[in-house]
Amino acid sequence: MAPILEVQNLQKTFGAVVAAKDINVDVEPGEIVGILGANGAGKTTFVNMVTGYLKPSAGTIKFQGRDITGLAPRKVTMTGIGRSFQVSQVFMTLSVFENLLTALAIAQSPGTSMLRPLRRPELIAECEATLARYGIADQRDQPASQLSQGARKLLDIAMAMVSKPKILLLDEPTSGISVEEKFPLMDRVMEALKAANVTVLFIEHDMEIIERYVSRVLAFYQGEVICDAPPAEALADAKVQEFVIGTEVHRETHGGTVDA
């Protein structure tokens, strides 16, 4: 099977700062890839380039064989790549329901159908179903600004899924979420994504989450991919241990044995 995402020789420099150096990654359809790295290692820069928020300084990005390097975010979304954000990007003054309804309307109203009313029965039905699928139906009338972190992350991801992407990149989906909520949240998200047959890449700092869901790990350090391997192998790798795990949140937060 041809890779769904091919990244070749990707580079990004901001003046004297090298944020990404010679990144080469191929992702097969259906893979679940974890992206590790300390803060500033270049993970979000990578995601920003793949989703069009940043233009690479050099290199190519291909989606299903098609060159999408340098396309604007909205064009990237239309080809079939979606993303969630480290800081959830939702419509703060609208309610959860309105957020999702607006997202659905935008994603599914090409051209002149933009002039049709927002509150259409088909959209409303799909909105209700999506709210239930992501477990945020109870908060449907709350303004997004008043949601808990977890609920807002779920809304962010639900809105990203509205465009029916084939690949979804999640930027730290569990950051800021309490320990007890992390697993239930990720379980729900991964279940919904699996049902939709989506290839997933997510940036994560929590090793237990990585081990639980991921079939492959990309470890970043100073803009380069220093390891590309299944989780067990990656976590045992010497470079990963030195440059990545040393700065990560550990097992001890989940009640395991306390390491040094």
Partner 1 sequence: MWRDKTIVGLTIAAVVVVVVSFFLPSWLLNQALFGFARALAVLGLMVLWRTGLVSFGHALYFGGGAYAAALLSRYYEVTDFFVLLLAGMIATTFVGFVLGFIIRRYRDIFFAMLSLAFSMILYGVLVKTEVLGSTDGFAVSSPTFLFYAPEPGDEAKQALFVALVIAGWIAAVLVQMYLNSTLGRLTTAIRDNEIRVEYLGFSAEHAIHVKYVMSAALAGAGGAFMAMSLGQVDPDSMVNWTASGELVFVTILSGPGSVAAPFIGSLLFELLRTYAVEFLPHSWQIIVGATLLIVIFFLPGGVWSLLGRLRRAEG
Partner 2 sequence: MQTAITILLDGLVFSSYLFIVSVGLTVIFGVMKILNVTHGSFYAWGAYAAAFLIGVAFDAGWPDWLGFVAIFAAAIAVGLVLGLILERGILRFMYHRDEVLIVLATFGTFLVLEDVILLVFGVDPYFAYQPMMLLGASEIGGVSRDNYSLSLIALALVVALVCWLGLVKTRWGKILRAVIFDREMAESMGINVTMVYIVTFVIGAMLGALGGAYISPTVSVAPGFGIDVIVLSFAVVVIGGMGSIPGAIIGALAVGLSRALAVHEAPQLELFVIYAVMAVVLVFRPEGLFAPAKPRKI
Our finding on whether 141 is near partner 1 (CB under 8 A) is no
Our finding on whether 115 is near partner 1 (CB under 8 A) is yes
Round the CA-based radius of gyration of the chain to a whole number and report it: 19
Our finding on whether 92 is near partner 1 (CB under 8 A) is yes
Nearest in space to 199 (alpha carbons), one of 171, 173, 167, 230: 167
How many C-alpha atoms does 145 have within 13 Å on its Cβ side? 3
For partner 1, the closer of residues 45 and 213 by Cβ is 45
For partner 1, the closer of residues 189 and 240 by Cβ is 189
Task: Return the number of other C-beta atoms located less than 10 Å from residue 224's C-beta.
Answer: 16
The C-alpha atoms of residue 48 and residue 57 are separated, in whole angstroms, by 13
The C-alpha atoms of residue 35 and residue 46 are separated, in whole angstroms, by 10
For partner 1, the closer of residues 119 and 250 by Cβ is 119
List the x/- string, 163-192, binding to partner 1 by CB under 8 A: x-----------------------------
Q: Which stretch binds partner 1 (CB under 8 A): 22-30, 31-39, 113-121, 202-210?
A: 113-121
Task: Return the number of other C-beta atoms located less than 10 Å from residue 14's C-beta.
Answer: 11
For partner 1, the closer of residues 136 and 210 by Cβ is 136
On whether the CB atoms of residues 88 and 153 are closer than 8 A, the answer is yes
Q: For the CB of residue 132, give the shortest distance to partner 1 in the complex, in Å.
A: 21
The C-alpha atoms of residue 78 and residue 165 are separated, in whole angstroms, by 8
On whether the CB atoms of residues 164 and 199 are closer than 8 A, the answer is no
Out of 18, 118, 137, 249, point to the residue binding partner 1 (CB under 8 A): 118
**Structure tokens belonging to residue 128:** 């209700």
Count of residues for the chain? 260
The helix (H) or strand (E) run that includes residue 164 is none
**Structure tokens belonging to residue 90:** 């939702």
Q: Which stretch binds partner 1 (CB under 8 A): 12-20, 27-35, 75-83, 200-208?
A: 75-83
Q: For the CB of residue 44, give the shortest distance to partner 2 in the complex, in Å.
A: 8
List the x/- string, 4-43, binding to partner 1 by CB under 8 A: ----------------------------------------
Out of 2, 9, 30, 114, point to the residue binding partner 1 (CB under 8 A): 114
In the list partner 2, partner 1, none, the entry touching 158 (Cβ below 5 to 8 angstroms by class) is none
For partner 1, the closer of residues 171 and 208 by Cβ is 171
For partner 2, the closer of residues 14 and 242 by Cβ is 14
Out of 2, 9, 67, 116, point to the residue binding partner 1 (CB under 8 A): 116
Nearest in space to 67 (alpha carbons), one of 2, 24, 8: 8
